[in-house]
Amino acid sequence: MSRFFTAVLLFIFATTATFAQIASIDIEKGVTALAKIAVESYRDTGVTEFEQNQIDSMLLGDIKVSDHLEAVANPFRNGFDTPVGGNDLKSKNIELLLKYKISKTSNGYTIDAKLFDPLKNTPTMQRFTVSEFKQYPFLAHNIAVWVNDYLRAPSIDWMKNFVIMAKDTGVKKSDIVIADYTLTYQKTLISGGYNVFPKWAGSNQSEFYYTAYEKQLVLYRYNILNGKKTKIISSDGMLVCSDVSRDGKKLLITMPSHDLPDVFLLDVQTGAKTNLTSFAGIDVNGNFIENETKIAFVSDRLGYPTVFTKAINSTAVEQLIFSPRYNSSFSAKNNLVVYAGRENGSNNIYLISTTSGQKRQITASGWNSSPRLSNAGDAIMYFKNDGGRTFLGIFRLNSSSNFLFPMNFGKIKSLDW
């Protein structure tokens, strides 16, 4: 029983953190040459000054986090419909001018945006819409992604994606919540009972898997678009979906084998289950790596938790991480593994290649845990405890820039990005 409890802790301990709204952004380091962009916003009748300020503030934060743009003073401010010539922009040393107007309709809120480039005669235009004001962060996030893509800079598509979390609401009570990456927007999808370990079922984020504590532990798939809940499998012991294949047809799950947890491959369509690990101890948290030909997983087969790899069609197991020794939390994308490692009283985030073995330290101070790679593998999300405060961190791999969002209340049990 104690070893089973330890296995559960390997999933839960490193993913517990406080949950909050964004108050500020703390930039630890940035080295990228930034494109200078001037921004001016306008609002139609029906949009309040408060609403405009909220969107403006969020967009300025996104521009910082994009790591490719620098907001500069706007010398123009001559109306939304007034064009600005390329020579005017060049004379002011401005590479882009963004104008946008916020409108409120019966269907929600709309932003019409114009992007002026000194190298083009006419502006590039785009429209963005949300159904209610509390979704306003996504108006800003989508504008930032649009401008970033216009520059053909490295992707920041993760900015407009949902983060999904299990949020504690009481004793043995946990809701499933989606949020934007700043945690400003929050929406509860599943409430009542103890619901944990959400995992996106695909990159389009229309469905996710989660574990519900009922008479047995039950793994469900939930459709965000229609609210449909489908039972996948149940277990009398530990049950977690830790990864999903790219085609969505296979899951890596952790469940008991002879009373102790192992990693299984589950075919969603047929229900067929293949035991991928078999060890008289704890094997948990399987992740697909190297084009889904292998898995990485956490095991205590050395007497402490660390990450191992194995080919799906082989029984041979190899140790991936040798230092720091204590590694209970990690995630993987193709041939990259990001993990938390404990050493000399601190806990830091590291990145390692499964093919070359090259390792890179991501954080250097504080207590850092629960790292998650973005779908493109260009950014890392993690929790940081430092100086008695907790932050949600975003680390940009292309530039080594680190952005910290203070977190002030509540607790997160687990999350996926």
pLDDT value at residue 32: 53
pLDDT value at residue 408: 66
One DSSP character per residue, 61-126 reads: HHHHHHSSEEEE--S----TT----HHHHHHTT-SEEEEEEEEEETTEEEEEEEEE-TT-SS-EEE
Beta 283-289 vs 273-275: how paired, if at all? unpaired
pLDDT band for 294, please (50, 70, 90 cuts): very high
- The pLDDT mean for the chain works out to 88
Q: For 156-185, how does the pLDDT look when each residue is reduced to its tens digit (9 = 90+)?
A: 999 999 999 888 888 888 999 999 999 899
Beta 207-213 vs 26-29: how paired, if at all? unpaired
- Over residues 115-127, the mean pLDDT reads 94
Percentage of residues in the chain having pLDDT higher than 70: 91
pLDDT value at residue 291: 94
User: Facing residues of 39 across strands?
Assistant: 98
Determine the Cα–Cα distance for residues 322 and 308; give it in Å rounded to an integer. Answer: 10
pLDDT band for 9, please (50, 70, 90 cuts): very low
pLDDT value at residue 135: 97
Please check the confidence at residue 194 and state whether its pLDDT lies above 80. Answer: yes
Question: CATH number for the 2-22+162-416 domain, one of 3.40.605.10, 3.40.120.10, 3.90.1300.10, 2.120.10.30?
Answer: 2.120.10.30
CB 395 within 8 A of CB 28: no
pLDDT value at residue 38: 94
pLDDT value at residue 365: 83
CB 44 within 8 A of CB 109: no
pLDDT value at residue 397: 84
Exposure class string for 333-372: b at 16+ Cβ within 10 A, else e: bbebbbbbbbeeeebbbbbbebeeeeeeebbeebbbbbbb
User: Would the CATH topology of 2-22+162-416 be identical to that of 33-151?
Assistant: no
Architecture of 33-151 per CATH? 3-Layer(aba) Sandwich (3.40)
pLDDT value at residue 29: 42
pLDDT band for 114, please (50, 70, 90 cuts): very high
- Over residues 96-109, the mean pLDDT reads 96
Which two structure tokens, joined as six digits, stand for 26?
């703390």
Please check the confidence at residue 407 and state whether its pLDDT lies above 90. Answer: no
pLDDT value at residue 374: 87
Q: Hey, where are the domains in the chain?
A: 2-22+162-416, 33-151
pLDDT value at residue 383: 85
pLDDT value at residue 296: 95
pLDDT value at residue 378: 81
With tokens 């019966």, the residue in question is 106
pLDDT value at residue 20: 39
Predicted TM-score (pTM) above 0.85: yes
- Over residues 267-286, the mean pLDDT reads 93
Q: For 323-356, how does the pLDDT look when each residue is reduced to its tens digit (9 = 90+)?
A: 888 988 899 988 899 999 988 888 999 999 998 9
pLDDT band for 187, please (50, 70, 90 cuts): very high
CB 87 within 8 A of CB 104: no
Q: For 141-155, how does the pLDDT look when each residue is reduced to its tens digit (9 = 90+)?
A: 999 999 999 999 888
pLDDT value at residue 14: 38
Pick the more confident residue, 83 or 5: 83
